[in-house]
């Protein structure tokens, strides 16, 4: 980390607003979770590290933050405390796997969609663990394209998803831990989702999880469901999601990528 957090300027009014917004989301998550542990990933893409630090330090002490761009994640991880648990949630490119796997406090890559990318991540993480045995294996979600949209990343539900999960479990154990399955789903379905209205993508992911568990001889609860974002996380929790990814509801509207600043 090239700069001490104590030297970073955090606007008190901005910090208070962020803490309040995070607290409101946490309360909504807890109200629906019914005592179950649901991980809240605060999606901080295109937001400055000042905002992230405001939520990571006292009094909020939030740990899990998600980023969509590999280079931005690497830069932020270098500047912020290692106590942060990072999640890479964007489209995964093979060329980024090696550098991502070297980030010591990268908790999870949530967008693994091919055996090649899984092997690249595993090899790089295993090498990092060999150099520093204190490092943990890298958790991963297999991304499933439940909506069937061509523009969406992810495995097709069915045999492809089962095969990739099997590959991670049987061939990538040196560096990876299969945490579960993830979907983003169709925007229209997301907007129509409520705590009482089921989202077809969430239903599909839950069914796919059960298929994978059956085919690989696992208990269904061994595989986490990661689904739900700002507009639909309440419906996702109602469907059994163990992780939700919330950005704009916590941080507000994002700037254009060209206007984003790592540090303010």
DSSP assignment of 40-95 equals EEEE-TTS-HHHHHHHHSTTT---EEEES-HHHHHHHHHHS-TTSEEEE-S---GG
The span from the CA of 73 to the CA of 262, in Å, is 10
For residue range 12-40, what is the model confidence (pLDDT) as tens digits?
A: 999 999 999 999 999 999 999 998 999 99
Identify the top-confidence range among 2-6, 182-186, 197-201, 243-247.
243-247
> Is this model's pTM higher than 0.85 or not?
yes
What mean pLDDT comes out for the span 132-148? 95
**Taken in order 245, 53, 68, 85, is the CA torsion positive or negative?**
negative
What phi, psi does 182 have (nearest 5°)?
-135, 145
- Identify the pLDDT of residue 147: 84
Confidence of residue 2 (pLDDT cuts 50, 70, 90): very low
Q: pLDDT tens digits for 63-110?
A: 999 999 999 999 999 999 999 999 999 999 999 999 999 999 999 999
Query: Using an 8 Å Cβ cutoff, are 121 and 114 in contact?
Result: no
pLDDT in tens, 42-56: 999 999 999 999 999
Report the C-alpha gap between 90 and 69 in whole angstroms: 6
């Amino acid at each position: 980390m090239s700069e001490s957090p104590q030297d970073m300027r955090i606007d008190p009014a901005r910090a208070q607003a962020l803490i309040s917004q995070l607290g409101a989301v946490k309360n909504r998550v807890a109200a629906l979770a019914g005592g179950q542990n649901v991980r809240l990933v605060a999606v901080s893409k295109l937001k400055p590290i000042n905002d992230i630090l405001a939520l990571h330090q006292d009094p909020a002490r939030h740990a899990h933050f998600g980023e969509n761009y590999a280079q931005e994640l690497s830069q932020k991880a270098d500047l912020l405390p290692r106590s942060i648990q990072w999640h890479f949630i964007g489209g995964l490119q093979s060329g980024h796997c090696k550098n991502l796997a070297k980030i010591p406090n990268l908790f999870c890559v949530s967008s693994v969609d091919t055996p090649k990318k899984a092997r690249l991540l595993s090899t790089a993480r295993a090498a990092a663990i060999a150099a520093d045995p204190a490092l943990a294996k890298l958790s991963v979600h297999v991304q499933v394209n439940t909506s069937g949209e061509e523009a969406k990343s992810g495995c097709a539900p069915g045999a492809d998803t089962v095969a990739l999960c099997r590959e991670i479990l049987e061939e990538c154990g040196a560096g990876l831990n299969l945490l579960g399955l993830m979907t983003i789903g169709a925007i229209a379905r997301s907007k129509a989702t409520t705590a009482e209205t089921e989202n077809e993508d969430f239903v599909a992911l839950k069914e796919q999880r059960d298929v994978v568990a059956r085919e690989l001889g696992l208990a269904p609860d061994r595989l986490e469901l990661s689904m739900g974002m700002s507009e639909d996380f309440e419906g996702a929790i109602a469907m059994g999601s163990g992780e939700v990814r919330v950005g704009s509801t916590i941080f507000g509207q994002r700037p254009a990528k060209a206007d984003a600043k790592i540090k303010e």
